[in-house]
Amino acid sequence: MVSSRPPANDVVEVTVLGPGRGECCVLHTGRGEWLVVDSCVMKDGSPAALAYLRTIGVPASAVRWIVATHWHDDHVRGLADLVEQCSNATVYQSAALCRDEFMRLAAIGNDAMIEGSSGVKEMWTAWTHLADSGRSVPHLVRADQRIYLRDDQRDPSCEIWSLSPSNSSMVEACLKFRSLIPKEREPKRAVPRPKRNPASVVAWVRTGQAIVLLGADLERSSDRERGWQAIVNSAGRPTDKAQLVKIPHHGSENAHDPQMWTELLVSDPYAAVTPFSCGSVRLPKKSDRSRIAELSFGAWLTRDTMLTRTIRRSRTVDKTFREVVRRSELLSVDPGRVTFRCHADNPEEWEVDAPDPAVRLT
């Protein structure tokens, strides 16, 4: 079992949190410095990343970097609070999210005066806090970009890369943003959640010899310039393979690219999956679970979606709520957790802590 104390300076930690709709990854990159990728919340609405860090005695001030991989609500819930409390953190987001199309969409979502607009309102609030507090605006990332390098002869070294989005993916995202902007005289409503995630940021993190691939929600594409194919075929990305992967898009089949496994990961890597539960949709499916288990040395799901509870609302309340999120259920559970730790120079031996309700995939 992983200790309730923080990892030593030369120990890598990857903690994946997921309640059933939402996910967050918390990484110790050595020397007491932490990276948080995306955000989900506890039952009380507080950022799950900070709730976890408190349990191991790590203050919010230790978070150096926050990455918002994309704008979907299940990846940015609590982001504004996370950004506000982590005052030492530099914030990164997809370069596609600074284009005029998305900025107009975000302004519309904020002006609609309704709670939650498929994530855009949360991001707008985070941006506003950064501006009002005099902190740096979000740094924009894209494919083949090194975000951070620590190589000052003190162990462990560290580098953080964004492997996506590609130029073609950003164009696709901007066209989608434009299609979501209401026409003249159309009412301002909650911004609908699109099905695809072309602008999603995949992160590659190396601490010492330990390498982690965080797949965000990136999907498979037959186009060599989009999705996982763009990463696999890139000449500008780091070539070392990861020993641990956060499976993309909740393990769904449309995010499975065989070349991700052969070109970006070692054989039989460790893996973590977060579930997705909304209405009749439950991910990962049984076939997804079997596939992931077969391809990995060990794979863990943060929470079994079959155990997800829902809250039913009155017809009057539901009518109002549909205007906000157009869904018929709310999660009422804290995130499940899977934590991996290893020495920075011995990534072949990961210690895994997956307390209930996390489950190992078979």
Domain locations along the chain: 11-360
Integer distance in angstroms from the first to the last C-alpha of the chain? 20
How far is Cα 172 from Cα 180, in angstroms, rounded to an integer?
A: 13
Q: Are the beta carbons of 31 and 58 closer than 8 angstroms?
A: no
**Main-chain phi, psi angles of 306, to 5 degrees:** -70, -15
Mean pLDDT of 3-21: 93
Tokens found for residue 147: 């975000």
Number of neighbours of residue 331 by Cβ within 10 angstroms: 22
Tokens found for residue 41: 């919340």
**56-79 per-position pLDDT tens digit:** 999 999 999 999 998 777 889 999
Residue 47: is its pLDDT beyond 60? yes
Residue 124: per-residue pLDDT: 83
How far is Cα 239 from Cα 86, in angstroms, rounded to an integer?
A: 32
Residue 301: per-residue pLDDT: 98
Which amino acid is it at 38?
Answer: D
CA angle 56, 151, 209 (to 5 degrees): 65
Q: Are the beta carbons of 270 and 242 closer than 8 angstroms?
A: no
Tokens found for residue 6: 């923080």
Q: In this structure, are strands 139-141 and 90-94 parallel, antiparallel, or unpaired?
A: parallel
Q: Are the beta carbons of 358 and 301 closer than 8 angstroms?
A: yes
Q: How far is CA 57 from CA 27, 40, 53, 75, in A?
A: 15, 20, 6, 25
Q: How far is CA 357 from CA 24, 156, 305, in A?
A: 16, 33, 10
pTM: 0.87
**285-334 per-position pLDDT tens digit:** 999 999 999 999 999 999 997 654 444 555 555 545 444 444 434 446 89
Mean pLDDT of 240-267: 98
Q: Which residues contact 338 (CB under 8 A, 6 or more apart)?
A: 15, 16, 272, 300, 301, 302, 352, 353, 354, 358
Residue 169: is its pLDDT beyond 50? yes
The total number of residues written for the chain in this structure: 362
Residue 157: per-residue pLDDT: 95
Q: Are the beta carbons of 39 and 17 closer than 8 angstroms?
A: no
Number of neighbours of residue 153 by Cβ within 10 angstroms: 5
How far is Cα 243 from Cα 235, in angstroms, rounded to an integer?
A: 21
Residue 178: is its pLDDT beyond 80? no
Pick the CATH number of 11-360 from 3.60.15.10, 3.40.50.970, 3.40.50.2000, 3.30.565.10: 3.60.15.10
Task: Give helix 167-180 / helix 100-111 axis angle, nearest 10°.
Answer: 40
Residue 193: is its pLDDT beyond 60? no
Residue 48: per-residue pLDDT: 98
Residue 113: is its pLDDT beyond 50? no
Q: Are the beta carbons of 270 and 244 closer than 8 angstroms?
A: yes
How far is Cα 226 from Cα 284, in angstroms, rounded to an integer?
A: 23
- The candidate with the shortest Cα–Cα distance to 341, out of 24, 18, 19, 27, is 27
CA angle 65, 66, 67 (to 5 degrees): 120
Most trustworthy range by pLDDT among 77-91, 98-112, 324-338:
77-91
Please give the residue that has the higher pLDDT: either 323 or 39: 39
How far is Cα 92 from Cα 87, in angstroms, rounded to an integer?
A: 14
How far is Cα 226 from Cα 233, in angstroms, rounded to an integer?
A: 10
Q: Are the beta carbons of 332 and 311 closer than 8 angstroms?
A: yes
**121-136 per-position pLDDT tens digit:** 888 889 889 999 999 8
Residue 332: per-residue pLDDT: 64
Burial class (CB in 10 A: 0-12, 13-18, 19+), 21: buried
Q: What is the mean pLDDT of the chain?
A: 87
